Amino acid sequence: MPAPELSDPSLKKQLSFFCGEWRAAASGDSFPVFNPASGSQIAAVPSLSAPEVNEAVEFAADAMRAWSEVPAPRRAALLRAWFEEINRHSADLALLLTLEQGKPLAEALGEIAYGASYIEWFSEEAKRLYGEMIPAPSNDRRILVIRQPVGVCAAITPWNFPNAMITRKVAPALAAGCSIVVKPASQTPLSALALAELASRAGLPPGVLSVVTGEASTVGTALLRHPLVRKVTFTGSTETGKKILEECAKSVKKVTMELGGNAPFLVFSDADLDAAVEGLMASKFRNSGQTCVCANRVFVEECVLEPFLAKLLPAVKNLCIGNGWENGTTQGPLIDDSALRKVESLVENAKSLGASVLLGGKRASNENQFFLPTVLTNCHHDMALAKEEIFGPVAAIFSFHSEEEAIRAANASPVGLAAYFYSRDIGKIWRVAEALEVGMVGVNTGTISNAMAPFGGIKESGFGREGSKYGIEDYTNLKYICMAGISS
């Protein structure tokens, strides 16, 4: 079945958006965007040069001067108008997202609503960026603390959530009075460009939000090296995050790092097994397993392994691979061939070290980028999939015998983004939630992300939080003002 058309084709932009206008690269260079379900090219967007990125940053710095002086309620109203534009065009945005990223349309619609919820949330937070009065050491002084916008921000974002990973950064930056230049992932620039178009229609001033496309080594590096960029907010792999940190250190930029995960998912013997299977299906197979908070290692207490698998296998068999825009599809393709090869090699490695394949375990066919929903048992810590993000629809099942063993195994990772566990024992719930070395814990749920909550990791999963009242703080500097000479 051919992909449907956008009802507003002008949302499909094939130009970059900076200096207040839509522009091709001065060189005329562009790069292709593919539909991962079919492999066919759906667009081409500009490959900008470093001088063009520098121009975008300098224009953004000028724009920020005026934007930071716009009263907070007015900034809030403009963000709200952008939120409403997105809601009005959510069907088109979801379709565009499915076409460039592959996830099923229902999931894409969910991402658009989720992404928009950050704009709504931070439009409200814009009005609550309070300062503070601190008791002074003497009567003739007052100590004030104010929050000021950090400066021009650069956002570098991944392909797995091409909409929400952008709004989570842009909304707090704009709410705080910063301007922001976004470099979207090269596989999925169309969602970012459509967001910029809607921001412009909503009345956001030119230069406040820019989207620059092109090679990471050119565009990304130019953003990281520009002295006017005072904050870099990055979501992506830990490997790239480390390189970005090194680059940012040279000019001591403020940074937020939302990096990779390796989420443990623990099922204790006292768990509601139906709920645990439902939670695992949501956490593991959403976006075909390509999320940073995906359950990567599933630890099941040995005495309930059999009944747990008896419930899990039929649920996984029910998954349906296909084009994201077709009814009934629950599993889209992997993003590209190298992602597919990585999942294949992790499964082969696990098999060679003793894993049993209960379902799937291979590509759907040699002609496309789909991997069969897979369940592996007898997994153990020496397998590569225990140490790396699988980033594919593979449930790797491990077993354990005690709470202590489960916690030790769950924490045996250099990263710490999300973890999940199922139990109905209130004491165990507190002990395990507090012992897990991660930034986010789902207790009796496989879905934890929303705009009101602080999203982020610890260890090599990064630092900084997105969403919640904390998410705006990273876009501000604290300034302490000491007023003296008050006593007469």
The catalytic residues are 258, 292
- Specify which residues 476 forms β-bridges with: 149
Tell me how far the alpha carbon of residue 295 is from its chain's centroid.
15
CB of 237 to ligand NAP, least distance (A): 3
Which residue number, 165 or 406, has a Cβ lying nearer to ligand NAP? Answer: 165
Measure the CA–CA gap between 160 and 187, rounded to whole angstroms: 9
CB of 445 to ligand NAP, least distance (A): 18
The three-point CA angle 347-186-167 to 5° equals 100
CB of 213 to ligand NAP, least distance (A): 9
CB of 25 to ligand NAP, least distance (A): 14
Measure the CA–CA gap between 72 and 69, rounded to whole angstroms: 8
Nearest to 193 by CA among 172, 211, 166: 211
Measure the CA–CA gap between 476 and 472, rounded to whole angstroms: 7
Name the residue number minimizing CB distance to ligand NAP: 220
Which residue number, 49 or 235, has a Cβ lying nearer to ligand NAP? Answer: 235
Which residue number, 237 or 477, has a Cβ lying nearer to ligand NAP? Answer: 237
124 neighbors 76 (Cβ within 8 angstroms):
yes
Which residue number, 147 or 183, has a Cβ lying nearer to ligand NAP? Answer: 183
Which residue number, 104 or 439, has a Cβ lying nearer to ligand NAP? Answer: 439
Beta pairing class for 440-443 and 418-422: parallel
CB of 226 to ligand NAP, least distance (A): 13
Measure the CA–CA gap between 145 and 436, rounded to whole angstroms: 35
Residue 299 is which amino acid? F
- Specify which residues 420 forms β-bridges with: 265, 442
CB of 346 to ligand NAP, least distance (A): 14
Measure the CA–CA gap between 341 and 376, rounded to whole angstroms: 17
Q: What sign does the dihedral 456-459-461-463 (CA atoms) show? A: positive
Measure the CA–CA gap between 103 and 36, rounded to whole angstroms: 10
188 neighbors 159 (Cβ within 8 angstroms):
yes
Which residue number, 83 or 455, has a Cβ lying nearer to ligand NAP? Answer: 455
Name the token pair of 243.
């390189």
The binding site for ligand NAP (CB under 6 A) comprises 156-161, 165, 183, 185-186, 216, 220-221, 235-237, 240, 243-244, 258-261, 292, 389, 417, 457
348 neighbors 114 (Cβ within 8 angstroms):
no
CB of 92 to ligand NAP, least distance (A): 23
Measure the CA–CA gap between 291 and 275, rounded to whole angstroms: 21
Which residue number, 295 or 417, has a Cβ lying nearer to ligand NAP? Answer: 417
Measure the CA–CA gap between 249 and 228, rounded to whole angstroms: 14
